[in-house]
Chains A and B, each alone.
Chain A
Amino acid sequence: MEYINGIGIISPQNTLPGQGFLEAVVEQTADFLKSVEPVYKSYIDPIASRRMSRLIKMGITSAKICLRDAGIDAPDAIITGTGLGSVEDTEKILGELTIEEKFLNPSPFIQSTYNTISSQIAISLKCHEYNSTFVHRCFSLESCLTDAVLQIREGSAANVLAGGIDEMTLNHLTIIRRLGMWKREAIRNLDLWTSETPGALAGEGSAYFVISSEKNEKTYARLAAVETLYKPSSTMQTASFVKQFLADNGLMPAEVDLVLMGSNGYSEHDRVCNEVIMQSVPAAARVLYKHLCGEYHTVSGFALYLAANIISRQMIPSCMPLLQRKPEKLENILIHNHFRNTDHAFILVRV
């Protein structure tokens, strides 16, 4: 079995150490939800950080917070999932190329590769163990977690630092908006569920977890299973997949206490999300969460942070609206995430 023994998260909410569990919701009226960032000097040597982009600082800092939370100095493996990697550095290098190719600044080029985040974390921790990065669009974090579980089950590692990270830039947002993926107007995040315009509210964040083979006093919850389903032919197929996923893990649909819904404020896609859950686990309580963090490729990391804390603290924060009755117990939580009804991901978190 695999346990979540540490969490470090930087998100558009107050999720830094000492800030409690979503006690006061952060309201933003913006084109995308931007992370509430810490003072990086407290975590990274300024000489080392001066060359790092915002994404890398977020990654290293959340990784360090996570290890401190777990009481571990160095993990046996570092695994990262990212959908976009270092967008800011990539934009910088491409921007310089279009101006004058011969005066290229080497730092953004070196750091524009996807595996920079995991590597910089390893350099910062002086960790020479297994280091890997998964770039699988909306399955990036799920692939990362699957690898973490495999590392533990094969006996290669006892404590794996695994996490998902993505940043948003105004330039990237503008380009993707043309494809109709994001809302075309700035909106207040708390009004997301009453918004009738097409597109999702974009967000960003970095969430790292220590996944361990042993349960201890730091354990939040058990990471019971991770599964993905690509391009289902129908809602019914996705619902059957969920039922089978639960059965494979010894659970009846009625035993799921809470579902963290993958809805993102794009009504056309949210309808699919609702149908899948209503057809597969109709009795479970449901909560929405993407008004807190926005939509991004590795948003499951924010959901996993929520699920682990809900189980550990046995409470649901008031900023997460319940779509059904209050659950009687909080022992089995299903996270559903989906991207335009093509990439469906399911994570089961248990007490």
Chain B
Amino acid sequence: MDELINKLKKEVITQLNLEDISEDDINPDSPLFGEGLGLDSIDALELIVLLEKNYGIKIEDPKDGKKIFHSIRTMAEYITEHQKKA
């Protein structure tokens, strides 16, 4: 899980072009939206693209997004769970 969390941190930094933010600055349990990293709705779209492109995961129900993208850890858990199912 830790390995996936670190990989996800790198991918999020690259995909969202988070200049001046390093992997160490991201707490895996901090919220990605609002407080924490302060991401917005366009970032949410970019994260959906990231999951589909890098992990082959398509989010069918948009309502799930809020839970999946709460933090880096929830994203990692969702990916792991999805990969087990596959």
Which residues of A approach B to under 8 Å, CB–CB? 46-47, 49-51, 102-107, 110
Q: Are B49 and A104 in contact (CB under 8 A)?
A: yes
Is A51 a contact of B17 with CB atoms below 8 Å?
yes
Of B1-9, B38-46, B64-72, which stretch is located at the interface? Answer: B38-46
Q: Is the CB of B20 within 8 A of A107?
A: no
Q: How far is the CA of A50 from the CA of B21 in the complex (A)?
A: 11
Chain B residues near A102: list those with CB within 8 A.
Answer: 52
Q: How far is the CA of A102 from the CA of B58 in the complex (A)?
A: 11
Q: Which residues of A contact B59 (CB under 8 A)?
A: none
Whether B42 lies near A106 (C-beta < 8 A) is yes
Cross-chain contact B46 with A103 (CB below 8 angstroms): no
Tell me how far the C-beta of B38 lies from the nearest C-beta in chain A, rounded to whole angstroms: 6
Query: Which residues of chain B from 1 to 49 have a CB within 8 Å of any chain A CB?
Result: 16-20, 38, 42, 45-46, 49
List residues of chain B with CB within 8 A of the CB of A110. Answer: 42
5 A-B residue pairs with CB within 8 Å: A49-B19, A50-B16, A50-B19, A106-B49, A107-B46
- How far is A47 from B38 in the complex, measured between Cα atoms in Å? 8
Counting CB contacts under 8 A, is B84 at the interface? Answer: no
Q: Does B85 contact A (CB under 8 A)?
A: no
CB distance from B37 to the nearest CB of A (A): 9
- Contacts A104-B49, A105-B49 given; does A51 touch B42 at CB 8 Å: yes
Other A-B contacts than A46-B20, A50-B17, A106-B45, 19 sampled, CB-CB below 8 A, are: A46-B19, A47-B38, A49-B19, A50-B16, A50-B18, A50-B19, A51-B16, A51-B17, A51-B42, A102-B52, A103-B49, A103-B52, A103-B53, A105-B46, A106-B42, A106-B46, A106-B49, A107-B42, A107-B46
Separation in Å of the A106 CB from the closest CB of chain B? 5
Give Cα A179–Cα B4 distance, bound, in whole angstroms. Answer: 50
Q: Give Cα distance in the complex from A46 to B49, angstroms.
A: 23
CA distance A50 to B75 in the complex (A): 22
Inter-chain contacts of A46 with B (CB < 8 A): 19-20
With a cutoff of 8 Å between Cβ atoms, the chain B residues found around residue A103 in the complex are: 49, 52-53
